[in-house]
Structure 1
């Protein structure tokens, strides 16, 4: 069987529904199957059956990595083409007469030339002026001609004829200004022709624009860049647990001078590491290594932990009693985010920060985490406070007999003031996931606009995209952008990833002081090689003792914010270990746990093991810990089955790929029905996504193209959806591949296409043509696994 299900040949009889189910094909009704021709698919997405049947060799793994790098290069090339075709952005500071860069400025100072090359406005009205607000993008907005502002710039814009290519065009290529095309029966481009598609209609306008929260203020970012943020609270927790702190040269907020950790000169971060390894003598007499992997531009790959420090501290297991999580800590001074920074318009901030806002220029913190080798007995809170009070009493007695005793008394009082009694479990915020639908934290596609679409469709709990702990500590704006929250997300958490207690404890303190969240989740199940090679994600399943240290330290540093984590069954097949420690996670500080019913080795190549999830659910329920199941939930019947089979042991289910393919699954669960959503209703969801995308990423040319890119990523998943009205057997299963079929109308057929060129055409119908021809390559594979031993199974196993 070929990895891509081909169209049914006209000379062969149509397969029955059962035959299609046996072959893991979605059972589509015969009248909708395509009998001739083949379904186009992106090149390079399939492999031969012979190669799939054999285990992956080292050469095949190398080839797969090269293919992944090729896809990454294709995505970079697409963004480069878009940037090359887009006119240089106008420098707003120059227009205001305050640009200090002069000829070195990366933005254009030639207003006349910019207006000549500015793309035509999109049809409709500016979302900002629709709510009676001033558009922060000015004449750079793709709706600038509808602003109605009577200033010199807009009057000049009105005198320049618009560049063609942004407005609605007819199917024959002529101008269709003022013409209306029925949404129910649109004229779309044929896949075999180069006919320009019709821009269907205007994007919906918002009734109000609510300000997003969880921005990183400039003051806090500077402290992170210069390594002057006060981590006394987290460091006190780590020291009380005898955990090594491998962050070099950390400063107090009011300190000055040169940083011992390197990478700083004259008070400005240089973004370079020390290039050497410096040792710090610990109470155990072992050196703590300072990593030399720091530097700018590492983005999401900048997990700055040294494997040598891990090898030095992982041999001896740590034994911590229950009092360790309540060890005395030190207080810290919290610096809050300024209101002005939180509400600053994206375009204004973009122009003001320049290169810094791109997320690649920070990198000032050289961090290397390591684990302890031994653990000294921890002292209880009551004993610690009693000891301090005794010291104060003795000091005051000595003061009456010896004048120098006053100094000792002051020191003792100051020491006592820094003792913070940890929160008891009953004093933390309560989390209740029972019966709530939970959208998984999804990399790339799980962005804020997509979460807003899911909120409108009934999801209860949302979580931000996975952010790397070390990048957050460096103040990288690209990483902090993943923590943004819309006010509509009333039950919201953020997910961080790291492999060492010191980094995650500091991130816990930082997040607890700087952002507003309902919980913080640690990703301990990510299967990506880049993450696992840094001892994070699924690699933690190889050393459950480190999971305990991470949870105890991070939960204490978070204060009253609940801590959760997500993990898998085990690292390799046949090495299931989650059941050995999940029921203990509540004692370690976790408020809830999400279990994905696969191993890291499986990726998505096999069905989730729900029997194992049920087994862990029983032990967690007995321990009073909420367990959330995850894997292959694709309909409300799947939801009902998994909830009922556990006898109430599962608090909820987390939905990931099912929400990517059909985000209306949350509506189906709430209303307990299979929603035969029409093509026009799906189109409205895409329109709404584009509308909130322009609100989030901006309504200028850069914001439009960013919205297009994430729309294309989403379309690479939704093409796998088969409408309910076309199914022979309900419901569609996650592990079934759709055959080549035609929809009930042309738009439905277009939405089912697996050709990325059709996805680009759909984006043109909503956002106009891109500034340059693009060739899109999806970041994630949207194909499901198929029958055992097929090429598609091997593809999914490889990522």
Structure 2
């Protein structure tokens, strides 16, 4: 974590060295008070020596503070059209070989033949393909056929060149929650039908009124199909995604005051609108509709007065309106180690690593509801689940009840999950500016509508993740915690910081305890913030027995073996070799997930470097004067007990572990 310059015994740098040496004389208690990791003195790295300003300067150094020469090359900013053109050209180049041809090395396997947009020239591809990477193909290591064939960067380790058999069998058996092509096309065309979600929204009085253009279109095109999540007729849905839907319905149930969804708030420009394709105020029932007091599945369903004139269509298996929250599948979070959903770095390979180190519950990265409803493959990839994740949830984020309700219905239909977590605490500007994440903390009635609509649509357990407040010093979760269980939430995770605070300062656990004590027995409360050792875990559990469990986030990024420490109740002085083996496990999982071809290797390395930017903050137990390490400590520049440990302490991709060129770990 510092330069490699050797200390100077004499000369102009001596004064600087003496100043740092004086600072090194501080006691461990003084260092801890300043949030500096108290590394033992024999491991501290001497500070780099700045050269004095010489009398005679050469052409390369102008003064003592000269900056390294910068490249004069300016990267040209390319337009989207130009980038698309380059991608098309790369596909047609010899290196852009057709995946179907590469699997078996047979040009006849491609169903598109000459119309394929990829190259079919196998010999040209072999001539230009980069050299193999050292190591063994991750698929060969588990005695499975490699799904990338000739494109694999470990082709030389394939036992019989290109293996026979079902090359996708392993991925299908180990990973799940993929989006089918048929459903994706329906989402692209906005032709999905969300009957259960729309019925629940209307029952709660949360269904927004369609604009005049959609109403005119629906009156012209007639009725729609009433099957759950099915398409309308050919002309039953507009594909113009620029139309916006305004939510002007007021929430009037059990709230201290009505809150109107402003019609001038910015709504997502692209979203599935199939849930509002019924005619409003027409007084005529479509085929298959029911009256305001008609029986559905043997039970009488009474619509609210405000919706009495609206006829709702139900599918035969629609039970969302009569399932009581207590009848839902419950998840017991008590005493379980919960790995938090972590944006970018909380990917499937990282979760597999944490699962192997003792995590009990895992959750996918936060996915935006509007992107899921558009059928974006990159967003649906965040919902992927590995077979080793025996208790798994997904986290979604949205701003409006209709968006959330339709998303959870779609997830229930397409995915296998144990619970769905609604993010109401994300502090990122791009999320908050859309009215989602932490912005919902300023609109408690909107929060209520979202949870009620989502939990009433599906039978999957619904959980919430919040922060203490939006503004610092204006906590409000304690006033809402008693009602969250009645809304339909099974559990709530409270991050002990406000949105304004972001990740600065320590988490306010006293306030988390206060909320946990006010929560009803039916609502599980989890705390989150600054858990970095089993000491932190034990402390929070001992100080508040009402706390069901604790969520571990950044602590798992810096040292994923924190789960092992908590379960074994010890401080693990892990060696550099053991840490390196964990990184190799991550790379192996990454190559299996993202692929062993060139693109997969590059993606794995990119996410590995992202993770290493956190692991470099860890200070080994054997180097500390005070244990355990706290999450807010700043590590000084130090030497490790061996060269590998020193590399792992560097935050530089050029001088640290990221400089190793072996891309296979």
Query: How big is each residue's C-alpha offset from its partner over 1:358-392, in whole Å with a ceiling of 9 and x where there is no partner?
Result: xxxxx97465999xxxxxxxxxxxxx9994369x9
Return closer, same or farther for 1:259/1:638 CA change in 2, 3 Å cut-off. Answer: same
Which residue of the partner structure matches residue 398 of structure 2? 498
Return closer, same or farther for 1:246/1:668 CA change in 2, 3 Å cut-off. Answer: farther
Return closer, same or farther for 1:414/1:262 CA change in 2, 3 Å cut-off. Answer: closer
- Whole-Å Cα distance in 2 between the matches of residues 152 and 742 of structure 1? 47
The answer to whether 1:388 aligns with 2:388 is no
Return closer, same or farther for 1:209/1:555 CA change in 2, 3 Å cut-off. Answer: closer
The answer to whether 1:255 aligns with 2:154 is no
Query: How big is each residue's C-alpha offset from its partner over 1:28-65, in whole Å with a ceiling of 9 and x where there is no partner?
Result: 001011123189xxxxxxxxxxxxxxxxxxxxxxxxxx
Which residue of the partner structure matches residue 703 of structure 1? 600
Structure 1 SS opposite 2:423: strand
Structure 1: which 5+ residue stretches go unaligned? 1-6, 40-69, 154-206, 264-272, 278-288, 291-308, 322-362, 371-383, 393-411, 769-799
Which residue of the partner structure matches residue 715 of structure 1? 612
Q: Do 2:193 and 2:231's aligned partners in 1 also have CA atoms closer than 8 Å?
A: no
Query: How big is each residue's C-alpha offset from its partner over 1:634-657, in whole Å with a ceiling of 9 and x where there is no partner?
Result: 1110000011011x1100000100
- Whole-Å Cα distance in 1 between the matches of residues 274 and 439 of structure 2? 17
Structure 2 SS opposite 1:744: coil
Map residues 360-439 of structure 1 onto 2, 5 A cutoff: 365=271, 387-388=293-294, 420=319, 421-439=321-339
Which residue of the partner structure matches residue 43 of structure 2? 32
- Count residues with an aligned counterpart: 557
- Whole-Å Cα distance in 1 between the matches of residues 452 and 655 of structure 2? 50
Structure 1 SS opposite 2:607: helix
- Whole-Å Cα distance in 2 between the matches of residues 533 and 208 of structure 1? 38
- Whole-Å Cα distance in 1 between the matches of residues 417 and 652 of structure 2? 39
Query: How big is each residue's C-alpha offset from its partner over 1:727-775, in whole Å with a ceiling of 9 and x where there is no partner?
Result: 000111111100111100111010000112235645523438xxxxxxx
Q: CA deviation at 1:255?
A: 3.3
Which residue of the partner structure matches residue 59 of structure 2? none
Which residue of the partner structure matches residue 433 of structure 2? 533
Q: CA deviation at 1:426?
A: 2.9
- Whole-Å Cα distance in 1 between the matches of residues 657 and 581 of structure 2? 17
Which residue of the partner structure matches residue 243 of structure 1? 206
The answer to whether 1:128 aligns with 2:135 is no
- Whole-Å Cα distance in 2 between the matches of residues 731 and 502 of structure 1? 46
Map residues 212-251 of structure 1 onto 2, 5 A cutoff: 212-245=175-208
Structure 1 SS opposite 2:174: coil
- Whole-Å Cα distance in 2 between the matches of residues 678 and 389 of structure 1? 66
Q: Do 2:186 and 2:192's aligned partners in 1 also have CA atoms closer than 8 Å?
A: yes
The answer to whether 1:727 aligns with 2:661 is no
Map residues 176-325 of structure 1 onto 2, 5 A cutoff: 210-245=173-208, 252=225, 253-258=230-235, 260-263=237-240, 273-274=241-242, 277=243, 289-290=244-245, 309=246, 318-320=252-254
Q: CA deviation at 1:136?
A: 1.1
Which residue of the partner structure matches residue 686 of structure 1? 583
- Whole-Å Cα distance in 2 between the matches of residues 548 and 700 of structure 1? 47
Q: Do 2:190 and 2:239's aligned partners in 1 also have CA atoms closer than 8 Å?
A: no
The answer to whether 1:453 aligns with 2:367 is no
- Whole-Å Cα distance in 1 between the matches of residues 327 and 597 of structure 2? 47
Structure 2 SS opposite 1:757: coil
Residue of 479, 500, 507 corresponding to 1:601? 500
Deviates more, 1:517-526 or 1:244-253: 244-253
Return closer, same or farther for 1:641/1:219 CA change in 2, 3 Å cut-off. Answer: same
Which residue of the partner structure matches residue 527 of structure 2? 629
* Greater relative CO (CA pairs within 8 A, separation 6+): 1
Q: Do 1:444 and 1:465's aligned partners in 2 also have CA atoms closer than 8 Å?
A: yes
Which residue of the partner structure matches residue 667 of structure 1? 564
TM-score, normalised via structure 2 length: 0.76
Structure 1 SS opposite 2:253: coil
Structure 1 SS opposite 2:417: coil
Which residue of the partner structure matches residue 17 of structure 2? 9
Return closer, same or farther for 1:419/1:486 CA change in 2, 3 Å cut-off. Answer: closer
Query: How big is each residue's C-alpha offset from its partner over 1:515-567, in whole Å with a ceiling of 9 and x where there is no partner?
Result: 11110000000000000001100000001011110011000111x21000100
Which residue of the partner structure matches residue 537 of structure 2? 639
- Whole-Å Cα distance in 2 between the matches of residues 468 and 416 of structure 1? 27
Q: CA RMSD in A?
A: 3.8
Structure 1 SS opposite 2:662: helix
Q: Do 1:225 and 1:365's aligned partners in 2 also have CA atoms closer than 8 Å?
A: no
Map residues 100-139 of structure 1 onto 2, 5 A cutoff: 107-139=118-150
Return closer, same or farther for 1:87/1:672 CA change in 2, 3 Å cut-off. Answer: farther
Q: CA deviation at 1:223?
A: 1.8
Q: Do 2:526 and 2:550's aligned partners in 1 also have CA atoms closer than 8 Å?
A: yes
Structure 2 SS opposite 1:703: helix
Which residue of the partner structure matches residue 107 of structure 2? 96
Structure 1 SS opposite 2:661: helix
Structure 2 SS opposite 1:556: helix
Q: Do 1:469 and 1:497's aligned partners in 2 also have CA atoms closer than 8 Å?
A: yes
The answer to whether 1:142 aligns with 2:153 is yes
Return closer, same or farther for 1:111/1:760 CA change in 2, 3 Å cut-off. Answer: farther
Map residues 45-84 of structure 1 onto 2, 5 A cutoff: none
TM-score, normalised via structure 1 length: 0.64
Q: CA deviation at 1:128?
A: 2.1
The answer to whether 1:649 aligns with 2:543 is no
Which residue of the partner structure matches residue 176 of structure 1? none
Which residue of the partner structure matches residue 482 of structure 1? 382
Which residue of the partner structure matches residue 634 of structure 2? 737
Deviates more, 1:516-525 or 1:622-631: 622-631
Return closer, same or farther for 1:367/1:34 CA change in 2, 3 Å cut-off. Answer: farther
Q: CA deviation at 1:317?
A: 5.3
Q: CA deviation at 1:217?
A: 1.0
Q: Do 1:367 and 1:470's aligned partners in 2 also have CA atoms closer than 8 Å?
A: no
Which residue of the partner structure matches residue 466 of structure 1? 366
- Whole-Å Cα distance in 2 between the matches of residues 587 and 427 of structure 1? 13
